[in-house]
Amino acid sequence: MNKHLLSAADLTRDDAVAILDTAVELARVSDRTVKKLPTLRGRTVVNLFFEDSTRTRISFEAAAKRLSADVITFSAKGSSVSKGESLKDTALTLEAMGADAIVVRHGASGAPHRLAHSGWIDGVVVNAGDGTHEHPTQALLDAYTLRHHLSSDEGALDGRHVVIVGDVLHSRVARSNVLLLHTLGARVTLVAPPTLMPVGVESWPCGISYDLDAALPGADAVMMLRVQAERMNAAYFPSANEYSRRYGLDVRRSDLLADGGIVMHPGPMNRGMEITAEVADGPRSVIVEQVTNGVHVRMAVLYRLLGAADVIGEAS
Ligand code: NCD
């Protein structure tokens, strides 16, 4: 496994399966009365968030704490220093504090890569979402959730069909998921209006469709993406109503999925826009479960990247 986790493409199939299997073990620990493991005692994990986040930040914090690491959370939003300089200065500060792992979310695509390969720091870097580029731990928690529901032996996802729908253009979740799901043997179809499909998407390892009703029948899972209004500097579709009518998930559409097919969303959701409340809270939805799984998967990532000793068996 690579030293850092910057992209879902960093993971071989064996790496990804090893992380998912470790997460399954760690999830069992979370069922115990004493949930904490001594694995990362004395190690320091810094959460460096230059962009807003609820789930991802809390999830990494919970993951590091359950492994007994010292956790420092740094929200850099509002800084007026130019991005390159502020990142370097921050990195030097973190290095001076002896950070063993830096979990970074940044509005600029490539910022975690810069942090990892600049020579500013020694610790491992985990990408918690960079611009419109990648979000590899989200893809891992999605793969964990898919495996749990669609694979009886917790094996891989060979031959499963996952439809990813919505604002693909601005979505780091979509890109990381396409890469990881392909690595794990699943078939992915991206569905979006033409204006929200990224340039060059033809070279991604997935199918492309502009018609949601045509893509959904028989699929094993549908992953809805948030319409990322904060990243839109132009009108990408005529109106919210029209978007929902063509690309929103309602009960009729979710019933086109295969029997046992699941509905996913990375959150935060725009209820009534890309997904109706009825579907989000309905029987096929695993959206809340995705959040729980995120903690186990992030524990597994920290555990493997920080080369922790094999102490899953002993709760402290
Ligand atoms: C995603 C993100 O931040 O990229 N959310 C998340 O991490 N749970 C998706 C989004 O913001 O829409």
Does pLDDT of 232 surpass 80? yes
Report whether the peptide linkage leading into residue 268 is cis, meaning its omega lies within 30 degrees of zero.
yes
Across 243-257, average pLDDT:
98
**pLDDT tens profile 122-145:** 999 999 999 999 999 999 999 999
Phi first, then psi, for residue 196 (nearest 5°) are -110, 20
Residue identifier of the C-alpha nearest atom 12 of ligand 1: 226
**pLDDT tens profile 13-65:** 999 999 999 999 999 988 888 889 999 999 999 999 988 888 999 999 999 99
pLDDT at position 154, please?
57
Does pLDDT of 233 surpass 50? yes
pTM to 2 decimals?
Answer: 0.94
Amino acid, res. 286: V
Q: How far is Cα 283 from Cα 215, in angstroms, rounded to an integer?
A: 21
Tokens 């999605």 belong to residue: 142
Of the candidates 283, 282, 222, the one whose C-alpha atom is nearest the C-alpha of residue 247 is 222
pLDDT at position 83, please?
58
pLDDT at position 153, please?
61
Across 82-104, average pLDDT:
84
Of the candidates 79, 83, 71, the one whose C-alpha atom is nearest the C-alpha of residue 114 is 83
Catalytic (active-site) positions: 55-56, 83, 105, 135
pLDDT at position 74, please?
83
pLDDT at position 315, please?
46
User: Which atom belonging to ligand 1 lies closest to the Cα atom of 135?
Assistant: 4
Strand partners, 162: 188, 221
Sheet with 70-75: strands ordered across: 70-75, 44-49, 101-106, 124-130
Ligand 1: residues with CB < 6 A are 55-56, 129, 135, 138, 172-173, 226, 228, 266-267
- Compute the half-sphere exposure of residue 113: CA atoms within 13 Å on the CB side of its CA: 13
pLDDT at position 90, please?
85
User: Which atom belonging to ligand 1 lies closest to the Cα atom of 53?
Assistant: 3
pLDDT at position 30, please?
84
pLDDT at position 155, please?
65
Question: Cβ-count burial of 245 within 10 angstroms (0-12 exposed, 13-18 middle, 19+ buried)?
Answer: exposed
Amino acid, res. 236: Y
Residue identifier of the C-alpha nearest atom 7 of ligand 1: 56
**pLDDT tens profile 198-221:** 999 999 999 999 999 999 999 999
Amino acid, res. 246: R
**pLDDT tens profile 147-172:** 999 986 656 799 999 999 999 999 99
In the reported structure, the alpha carbon of residue 226 is separated from the centroid of ligand 1 by a whole-number distance in angstroms of 8
121 SS3 class: coil
Which domains occur in the chain, in start order?
A: 8-133+292-314 (3.40.50.1370), 136-287 (3.40.50.1370)
Question: Cβ-count burial of 169 within 10 angstroms (0-12 exposed, 13-18 middle, 19+ buried)?
Answer: buried
**pLDDT tens profile 254-292:** 999 999 999 999 999 999 999 999 999 999 999 999 999
DSSP 266: -
